[in-house]
Amino acid sequence: MERMRIQNGSYIPVTNMNQGKDLSTIEKSVTQDKKFLYTIISYSVILATFMNLSSFQSPFIGFTATIIYFLINAIFLGNAFFQKENAFFRLAFGVLLLVMLIGFVGWLVMIIYNLDVIRFTLALIIATTLSSILNRRMKTKNAAS
């Protein structure tokens, strides 16, 4: 860890300044979403989750798919609703919104019928579609202003 000298002779640690830049670069790449690339990746992760739940039941596949799914869709929602916050808070609030959206859609599916693997996958598809549409709408709204 690098250290920086201050006037009274003591040292303070200097943190890695690239950590915030890395999240911002990932966020910028995801929010641009040219040709719906990240939306397609999100749908592919949902397919992997479905396959894992129905046959493999591997914790590694489930954990990896969940992290990728939440990262992409939380960035979509965070960018749509919290543009004036810094990148960390946009991601954190996006995760909270995504959990609420999945919970609401899952609740609706449970009211209509029982929530099983197929209907859980349907709830994820609906949440992804709404996240992507909101991101696309905010991007066109910002481009127009």
Question: Which residue is listed with tokens 């009274």?
Answer: 8
The pLDDT value recorded for residue 34 is: 77
Q: With 70 as the cut, is the pLDDT of residue 119 above it?
A: yes
Question: Which residue is listed with tokens 């991601």?
Answer: 91
- Residue 4: which of 23, 22, 17, 19 has the closest Cα? 17
- Residue 135: which of 85, 92, 73 has the closest Cα? 73
Tally of domains in the chain: 1
Measured between alpha carbons, how far is 141 from 145 in angstroms, rounded to an integer? 7
Q: With 80 as the cut, is the pLDDT of residue 102 above it?
A: yes
Residue 78 in contact with residue 97, Cβ under 8 Å? yes
Higher-pLDDT residue of 21, 3: 21
Expressed as residue numbers, the domain containing 85 is: 3-144
The pLDDT value recorded for residue 32 is: 86
Q: Which residues contact 126 (CB under 8 A, 6 or more apart)?
A: 105
Per-residue confidence at 1, pLDDT binned at 50, 70, 90? very low
